[in-house]
């Protein structure tokens, strides 16, 4: 997969094309489109139950979005959330910090004709437990892509994931190593909280298999 810093990133999903305006010149990383979000969406598209039969699909149950509620952490420009919406994850809440919301709302408006509606979005800070709890009952799926890059946010991020994902649910994580310190701490804590499944690279979409990006499935330990 070639990655570009073009101001506009197009992402084909089935018979539609999502278009994302990004701004790499700001100090907020959430206004850029990062490879992990593209990799995650195209992985889901490849293994979506509508794309292959259940007996040959190891992710059929996970990616059966019927009647599932989801929340995305660190939505940024909205790539993962909008992409998964088009793949049938219709009850999804997109969240990010206040500084990134204008970019998200711009891209939601930009793609409204493709989406057919405006997806739900709200501000959410991982270091505010009361705000995390106010999101309501736990979600079947927690979506996050390229969110591990600052060591200080690792603890609140994992705590948020643990609180927000339902027992029997899963975290779909698009991951790329950004900070060695954050990387070590993240996986150290994750191993205590979650059962970790790394998606084999050969299971990623062949045209969107960015060599530095991985997809993980995290489930709370019983």
Residue 220 pLDDT: 97
**Which residue has 């709890």 as its token pair?**
133
Task: Judge whether 161 and 144 are in contact, CB under 8 Å.
Answer: yes
**Which residue has 């794309």 as its token pair?**
51
* Spacing of C-alpha 214 from chain mean position: 12
Using alpha carbons, select from 145, 208, 211, 203 the residue that is nearest to residue 172. Answer: 145
pLDDT under 70 in the chain at which residues? 1-5, 24-30
Distance CA 126, CA 160 (A): 6
Residues sharing a CB contact under 8 Å with residue 222, sequence separation 6 or more, in sequence order: none
Average pLDDT across the chain, whole number: 93
Residue 27 pLDDT: 54
Residue 55 pLDDT: 86
Residue 118 pLDDT: 87
Rg value, the chain, Cα: 16
At CA 28, angle to CA 196 and CA 101, rounded to 5? 85
SS3 216: strand
Residue 26 pLDDT: 61
SS3 52: coil
Residue 54 pLDDT: 79
**Which residue has 């698009």 as its token pair?**
174
> What does pTM read for this prediction?
0.94
CATH superfamily of 8-220: Vaccinia Virus protein VP39 (3.40.50.150)
Residue 168 pLDDT: 96
Residues sharing a CB contact under 8 Å with residue 44, sequence separation 6 or more, in sequence order: 63, 83, 84, 87, 172
**Domain boundaries defined on the chain:** 8-220
């Amino acid at each position: 997969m070639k990655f570009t810093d073009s101001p506009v990133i197009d992402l084909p999903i089935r018979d539609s094309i999502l278009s994302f305006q990004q701004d790499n010149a700001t100090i907020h990383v959430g206004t850029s489109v990062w490879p992990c979000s593209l990799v995650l969406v195209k992985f889901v598209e490849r293994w979506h139950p509508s794309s292959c039969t259940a007996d040959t699909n190891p992710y059929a149950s996970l990616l059966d979005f019927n009647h599932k509620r989801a929340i995305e952490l660190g939505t940024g420009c909205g790539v993962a959330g909008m992409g998964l919406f088009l793949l049938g994850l219709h009850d999804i809440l997109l969240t990010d910090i206040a500084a990134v919301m204008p970019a998200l709302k711009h891209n939601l408006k930009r793609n409204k004709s493709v989406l057919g509606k405006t997806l739900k979005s709200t501000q959410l800070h991982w270091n505010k437990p009361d705000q995390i709890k106010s999101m309501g009952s736990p979600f079947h799926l927690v979506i996050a892509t390229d969110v591990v890059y600052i060591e200080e946010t690792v603890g609140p991020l994992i705590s948020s994931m643990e609180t927000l994902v339902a027992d029997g649910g899963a975290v779909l994580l698009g991951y790329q190593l950004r900070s060695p310190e954050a990387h070590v701490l993240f996986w150290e804590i994750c191993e205590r909280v979650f059962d970790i499944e790394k998606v084999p690279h050969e299971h990623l979409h062949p045209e969107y298999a960015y060599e530095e990006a991985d997809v993980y499935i995290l489930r709370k330990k019983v």
